[in-house]
Amino acid sequence: MNAREIGAALLRQRLLFVAVLLLGVAVVAGGLWLAPKSYRATVTISVTKAPEASASLAALDAARRDLAEQARSPQVLSAVQEDLAGERTLEDLTEAVSAAWLEGTALIEVSVNDPDPEFAAEIADEVAAILVERGAASSSVSATVAAPAEVPTTFSSPPLGPVLASGLAAALLLAILVALGRDWRTEILTDGAQVESAAIAPLLAHLDAPHDLTLMPALRTGSAESDLFRHARLAIEAETSVGPSKRVVVAGIGTDELDVWLGANVAIALAHVGRSVVLVDARMGTRFGPPSSAAPDTPGLSDVLQGVDLEAALSPGPIELLSVLPAGTASEAQSEPALDDYFNDVMEELAARFDVVVVLAPALDVADDALTMSASASMLIAVPEGTVAASVLRTHATRVRESRGSVLGVALIGRRPALAA
């Protein structure tokens, strides 16, 4: 998914994206509000050479380093605890107080972290006062408070900047992932790029079907509608030329029979260019509704699977070189004819007699028959425009491949008012 696709997905899911982002910001703000806070107060002590002292610079620096280390000594902290009337334990003070000589300068910096900002400043000043007294007791250095501690106005822990930055980044990432996840599951397919991305297969045709699906545009040679199926036929021939299968299984998503309309027109388009084609209606069983009124009143596939001679079940189609094998009359009495090995035997016999076998399979979301029929064959998936989620097509395409079939491609089909006869 490139940046443009991500942007388009976020635009489609903008309300969800904003809601999750605001929720994330609220969680970060609430976490900061409720988190235990610590305030830091700092006091600066200046340590210089005492009057008339003859200490070298190295000795003076050593004295400064030593005085800084005394800030956390038990003696100093015990004195601070006593001055605070026991408001803090010795362990609390040991964790709270830190001090360091700023190398290259005459300054010692004493810092104190405490949940109470006023106490932090008070402890820092107490430690500084004791260190100044200790410095005064030395004959080599003189210590004074250069900058007393100020009561901090903002907390130092948790660190506001990094927490806000990481929290907002996490909220933004979560909002993006949630929006993309929902878009991935619910994105409605309306263009070829979406279809190809979801099916991981080429878009072989983007067609508009008439309101009356008994109309066959491919029969009207020379018309614009017939030309669309010529392009679809060329795409199908290009795809099937790289594979071993002569069997094209046409299955749809949904029950509006766009796949039947597509398969019939594809078969007609193939027959128009001199291919011998057989159109097999494999939607056997009463669960797929009554047989088409246009179907021949002859035995069909379900009858052949129960022993009827194949030749007796084949009927001529509406144009030369096109034959039809209907679902059959036995399918009315048997709700779910078994797709056993004999089905493949029938398909192989048809493949030996015809250049192309076009199989009209039940919809992918209605039954698993199409998966069985597509094993060792190629499937053309008919997708109604604007009604199918990308995740649904992705799932069905994956199931076809897991059933040892291949996805030849996808046809995206819209609807328009009835065409003139």
pLDDT at 340: 64
pLDDT band at 182 (very low <50, low <70, confident <90, very high): confident
Which stretch, 150-164, 211-225, 287-301, has highest mean pLDDT? 150-164
CA distance 46 to 105: 9
pLDDT at 292: 56
Q: What order of strands is seen across the sheet that includes strand 378-384?
A: 203-209, 406-415, 378-384, 247-252, 356-360, 277-281, 322-325, 315-316
- What's the pLDDT tens digit per position in 86-105? 788 999 999 999 999 999 89
pLDDT at 288: 61
Mean pLDDT score of the chain, rounded to an integer?
86
Is the pLDDT score of 332 beyond 90? no
pLDDT band at 223 (very low <50, low <70, confident <90, very high): confident
pLDDT at 212: 85
Which stretch, 120-129, 187-196, 255-264, 366-375, has highest mean pLDDT? 120-129
Q: Of 188, 175, 245, which is closest to residue 23 (Cα–Cα)?
A: 175
Is the pLDDT score of 331 beyond 70? no
The answer, as to whether pTM is greater than 0.75, is: no
pLDDT at 335: 47
pLDDT at 240: 66
